[in-house]
Amino acid sequence: MLVKDLNKLVNKEAEIKGWVFNLRSSGSLYFLQIRDGSGFVQAIVNKESVASEVWEQCQKITLETSVVLQGVVTEHPKKIGEYELQVTGLKLIHIAEEYPIGKKEHGPDFLMEWRHLWLRSPKQWAILRVRDAIILAINEFLHQQNFIKVDSPVFTPNACEGTTTLFAVPYFDLGNAFLSQSGQLYIEAAISSVGRCYDFGPVFRAEKSKTKRHLTEFWMMDAEGAFIEHEENLRLQEDLVRYIIRYCLTNCQKELAILERDTQKLQQADAPFVRLSYDVAIKKLKELGSDIQYGDDLGNDDEGLLTKDSAVPVFIEKWPKSIKPFYMKRDSSNPDLVLNDDLIATEGAGELIGGSQREDDYNLLLERIKAEGLKVEDYEWYLDMRKYGSVPHSGFGIGLERTVRWITGVEHIRECIPFPRMITRLKP
């Protein structure tokens, strides 16, 4: 029996298997807080009504001891919708050694050292589950929109997002392989086979950014579609993000309550998104007191300023091509701009998505590859798509941990992935 299903067995016998994450005794009663992965429940052992062996076993329980319990399910005397187990039988599976994570406040470094155990705490449990819900929501939405999953490689011969953040790995007699920064270039190739597709997996950036929003290994979903142009690309992104919000509000109520997330803010974000051109965004930022100049990338503070009064995420579209990657398509009404967008979430969560229409003209793309100082031979296969039935196409990449951070309201991205990889952390 799973704890989450105990409501189906009120006044009946049930057996649950899990861990004791808290315990207290008072006289002839033992209160055991049990966690089984599916939920949390209080089990009560009454000395008067259990066999003496059961009571003896109780004395041996330590924090995180694993147990099998039998008992009768009762409704919680005060909390509606919660249940308790009146224990009749108890088996200790493994008596835990003294648990290093106590009830007192621990610093983040300490908790990160013990990440493999910290994952058991209710808050981390809730984050893991919201993360899973977001993954499900993304898969579900994309399939509804006729995208299929096509996996892209992790070992790659060339850069997708600039050569400065590549991790190199010695690769037999072929020199260096690079860990993928985004599968985009590969799924662009696959759209000529399946029309619409996406990948979803770990990507790597040797970024020296020690912020609350950067990991060196994170998960990205790249989506790409043939015959999708800029406008439709933005619409898809908005629909996806709003789908994620609704999915989590419906399926993660308990988790968001544990995380003390203000769900009203999320509800409000499920409304038409704001759109600003880069040009207007820069003007607005200057008005708001930023010292940003036209041609600069947006920093964390700028993103915060632009969204601080917005209840919904904000698209910043049509950036100068000089500060964006080689593959983005020029805006026909101003060739210095590209048909791209960054989607900035509310409440200071920062950029969730980067997307664009792709350059589909062979010569213009070749020119951009050369201008960026990239080796043409590395991109020949990518240029080939512009030789054999080139089509207008667009896509975008959403950062999973950024999205988890926004939906959960967690302060630091390191809690949004089970085992974070950062510049100064490779363990556990």
Binding residues for ligand 4AD (CB under 6 A): 160-161, 182, 184, 205, 207, 214-215, 218, 220, 222, 351-355, 395-397, 399, 401-402
* Residue 183 binding Mg ion, by CB under 5 A: no
N-terminal to C-terminal alpha carbon distance within the chain? 32
- Taking contact as CB under 5 A, which single stretch among the options 101-109, 263-271, 349-357, 399-407 is the one that binds Mg ion? 349-357
- Give least dist CB 399 to Mg ion, A: 9
Residue 110 tokens, joined: 């300490």
In the shown chain, the binding pattern of residues 295 to 334 toward Mg ion, with x for contact by CB under 5 A and - for none, equals ----------------------------------------
Q: Please give the Cα distance from 20 to 43 (Å, whole number).
A: 10
Closer Cβ to Mg ion, 44 or 274, answer by number: 274
Q: Which is nearer to Mg ion, 213 or 393 (CB)?
A: 213
Which residue in the set 225, 354, 355, 395 belongs to the binding site for Mg ion (CB under 5 A)?
A: 354
Q: Between 354 and 395, whose beta carbon lies closer to Mg ion?
A: 354
Closest approach of ligand 4AD to the CB of residue 363, in Å: 22
The CA-atom distances, in angstroms, between 308 and each of 278, 289, 313, 344, 347 are 17, 14, 10, 11, 7
3, 133, 137, 158, 262 from 250: Cα distances, Å: 20, 10, 11, 41, 14
For residue 428, say if its preceding peptide bond is cis, omega within 30 degrees of 0.
Answer: yes
- Which of ligand 4AD, Mg ion, none does residue 220 bind to, with CB < 5 to 8 Å depending on kind? ligand 4AD
Measured from the CB atom, the residue of 36 and 238 that comes closer to Mg ion is 238
| Length of the chain counted residue by residue | 428
| DSSP state for residue 55 in the 8-state scheme | H
The CB-of-196 to Mg ion minimum distance in angstroms stands at 22
| Cβ partners under 8 Å of residue 264, min gap 6 | none
Please, what is the minimum distance in Å from the beta carbon of residue 372 to Mg ion?
16
CB of 217 to ligand 4AD, least distance (A): 8
Closest C-alpha to 276, from 246, 309, 244, 253: 309
Nearer to ligand 4AD, 14 or 266 (CB): 266
- In the complex with ligand 4AD, the residue whose CB is nearer, 196 or 205, is 205
Rounded to whole angstroms, the Cα distance separating 4 from 158 reads 47
Q: Are 122 and 257 in contact (CB under 8 A)?
A: no
CB of 20 within 8 A of CB of 61?
Answer: yes
Which of 161, 302 has the CB closer to ligand 4AD?
Answer: 161
Question: Which single residue brings its beta carbon nearest to Mg ion?
Answer: 354
Residues of this chain that interact with Mg ion (CB under 5 A) are 354
